[in-house]
Structures are given as structure tokens and as C-alpha cells.
Amino acid sequence: MEAIVLAAGYSSRANAFKMTLPLGQITVLEQTISKFEGLCSRVIVVTGFQAELIEEELARISRKKTYSFQMKSVYNENFNQGMFRSIQKGVSEINAPTFFITPGDCPVVKKETLQILKEHLGHVGIPSFHCKGGHPIKLSSDVKQKILETNPESNLRMVLNGFEKQYIDVDDPGVIMDVDTPEDYQKAIDYYDKAIFGF
């Protein structure tokens, strides 16, 4: 199994480049990537805006030798034309029959959630918390093919509408938490501190 992490966006609402903001002892991006340890053989990070900062961060993560999966970054030269082009760029690198896909700013998902998703056998598995779908999602090679065949002006939702989607209830508010704004970032810090330290 492999994973795609989307890290090409502008962070325009975050007032900072959110991927390299600290969360605990590591960055938002590494928190997101770290959850795939032991579940994926390879993590593909799609870069765009501030690609050089992401490359530096990935190099730093690699030097730690903390993770057993391979990491590969791919640059989406059309990152300013929407997220679907980044998705297509990442999906074109996938070799495994199934894969996860997540934005890079979803750092507080529980690893147990990914383990549950990995067992899911359908084409589209979406974690759900209190009836609200979130990330990461798990997709099959059939979905991969459809993504690659779809007009770049489209979006992932349109592609997934052609498949039976299964929502998997999880006890994990992290699946619907991202770091779009400074307020979101503070919520992620508070949630992380409570989960780790109990306060």
C-alpha cells in the first residue's frame, strides 16, 4: 500500500506556511506523514508552492531514519490550477493496488483510523466522525485509473461519484480537523496536547 500527501497549496488562509509549522516535537507535515509508518511501503508528497521548503523538510525527515517507508516528492508545476491536478500528479506515481490520499495539513488523525481503513475492501473508503466524512481516504486502482483519465479541470468529488463510497465510522475527530486557518492550527495544538499529555 502507498500514500499520497498533498502539500502543494498556498496556505493562503493560514497566515504562515502551514506544512512546516511545529506541532509537538515535529512539523505539521511530518505528523501527517508519520501515521503511515508500518502501513505503507511508500509515501508520495506532491509539492508546488514553496516546494523548496517541503524538499528541505523531507530531507530532514529522511535523515532521521525514523520511518521504514520510502519517501518521494513530485513537483506539480500546475499547482496554481487547483488541487485535482496535484491529485493526478500523485496518482500517476502510484504502483500499489490500493492507496491513501490526504492533504498534508491533517496532522492529528489517529494511526488506528488508518489501520481500520487499510482493512476496507471497497473502491472508496472514507473515515467518518459524527456523520461527517474526512481524511485520509482509501482508494483502489480502478479509482486511480479514473482519476488519470478525467479532465484536469474536474475534481475528485466528481470522480468518486462514479463509485460506491463507503463511510467508515471512527472515533477520531482528527479526520475532520485540518490546519486551514490560525484558529485551526491552535485547535490542532490543543487537541494534540490533550491527546498526548492529557491537558
**Percent of the chain's residues with pLDDT above 70:** 95
Given a contact cutoff of 8 angstroms between Cβ atoms, the answer to whether 34 and 67 are in contact is: yes
pLDDT at residue 130 tops 80: yes
pLDDT score at 12: 57
What's the rounded Cα separation, in Å, for the pair 155 and 19?
A: 23
**Percent of the chain's residues with pLDDT above 90:** 84
pLDDT score at 107: 95
Tell me the pLDDT tens digit for each residue of 6-42.
999 876 555 557 899 999 999 999 999 999 999 999 9
pLDDT score at 17: 76
What's the rounded Cα separation, in Å, for the pair 168 and 155?
A: 22
Task: List Cβ neighbours of 188 (8 Å cut-off, separation of 6 or more).
Answer: 23, 28, 107, 108, 177, 179
What's the rounded Cα separation, in Å, for the pair 196 and 46?
A: 29
